[in-house]
Each structure stands twice: as structure tokens, then as C-alpha cells.
Structure 1
């Protein structure tokens, strides 16, 4: 974790909790979770449900497999989440006539209407971070690079 211009960092120093990027990401994720919990309360959504709705609002009906890949969720996590959204009347599941194993998730009119109520959420989250839009874009770009590198390792 050194660059050609910085002095080497002793291994023991790298073991400090406050030097762990993974812990910083974990702490930020937990903090985001708390703010999202409050922001999504009026929508009646949990954060994982919100992510599913974002995918459907952006791309329309999607096979369960595609939603899982996009959100990096396995079927054991995604299936109960989709069932709760269906019970809430926000989505409906439809089996493929060509392949019974394939299920496509569709927004219901209520799920589609919820999008309007969700419009203020991203700006609320941006404000809560204390970052500018440009700083947030830079952070997202860096995190995408880290994720890609970790996926490849």
C-alpha cells in the first residue's frame, strides 16, 4: 500500500483497524442503511426491496436471474424478497411458457406508481452524505474499480 513517492508502511501498522478500507466500507454501508431505513419508511420498502424496485423502474420486467445478477444476490436471498414485494402488491411473478424454470418479475400499477414517491430519495441520500454530486460520482467510480479488481482476484 505504498506509492513510489511515499515511505513504506510497516506490516504491523497495516493491521490497524482504522487502516482497513474494508472496515471503512462496512461502516459506511451500515450508516447508509440507517439513513435509507428512514428514507424508505414512508414507501414501505426495505433497502433490498428498494434495489429491486430500482432495477424494475429502470429496465421494466426482468427475469429473476437477471435481477439477481444485477444486484449480486443469490436466489435464496432474492426469492423471499420478491415474495414480500408480491404480497405488498408491488410486483407480480410470471412463469415463462417456454421454460417453466424461468420467472419474470413485472411491476404492478401500484409498483409503478411508487416510483413517483421514491423520486426524492436519491437527493435525500446525496444530502445526507455531505458530498457534492461530483464527489459522489468519483467515489462510485472508485468503488466500481475496487469491485472489479476484487472480482478478478
Structure 2
């Protein structure tokens, strides 16, 4: 089950509201863009981790919930490329984003594209109900996240 078109359009606005920003403000204030970006990453992490926790048996497996969470991860993956505009590096505010994001935009874009690809595959596999394939898709998404974080995020 895919999130319907209306939800796909409304979720980014809902996320922006959840972190206290709006599209108009995002365009104007680098600190708010950073705050939005960090909030969006936390949303993605929550939904992705919930699927992983279900597969690990940490929480009860729920097929409908897996599909919902995978839909959100996929949709969030499409936003990443727009969450790092010029002027939102460490000089603009507190961020773990490395300057390499802006110095190596093609490499960063490749990592983001890989995340989008693996997140889309996760969404497709989630609908199948095949837990073995789902586990592989989760691993692939996790690997794409790690690859980008290794190159473009400060160590925590």
C-alpha cells in the first residue's frame, strides 16, 4: 500500500510544521533550514529504525506498519537533495554536515541518489511481505545511509 498522492504532498509541510518552520522561512533563514534538515533526518531515522526493530524482534512485527514506515522512508529520501542549500554549512549554525557536501556536490548527489534508490526498493519489498527480502532491503538502506554519513557527516 502506497501513501496516496495527497499524503505525499502534505507530509513535507507537516514535517516543516513539526520542527517549527515553513517553506517560506526555510528559504530565508539558514539556521531554520538546518533545524528542518535535522528534524527530517530524525523522522527518517524513526521510521527506518522501527522497521529494523520489527525484523530484530524488538517490537512486534506488523505488516501494515512496515508498509507505512517504508513509505515514509521512501518519501523522505526524495527530500534530502533539497535539504542542503548553499549557506547551510557549519558557518550558518550548529550542524554535523561536513563542508564536503558543498565542495563535492556530485559525490554528495551520488550518495543521495543511492539512498533514494535503496529506499524505493525498501518500499517495494515492504509491500511483498517477504521478510527475508525486507531484511536485505533494510541492510541496503542502512548501508547507503552509512556511506553518506561516513563521507559527509562529522563523527558524533
Give the TM-score of the pair, scaled to structure 2: 0.28
Give the TM-score of the pair, scaled to structure 1: 0.28
More helix by share: 2
Q: With CA pairs under 8 Å and 6+ residues apart, which has the higher RCO, 1 or 2?
A: 2
More strand by share: 1
Give 1 or 2 for the bigger CA radius of gyration. 1
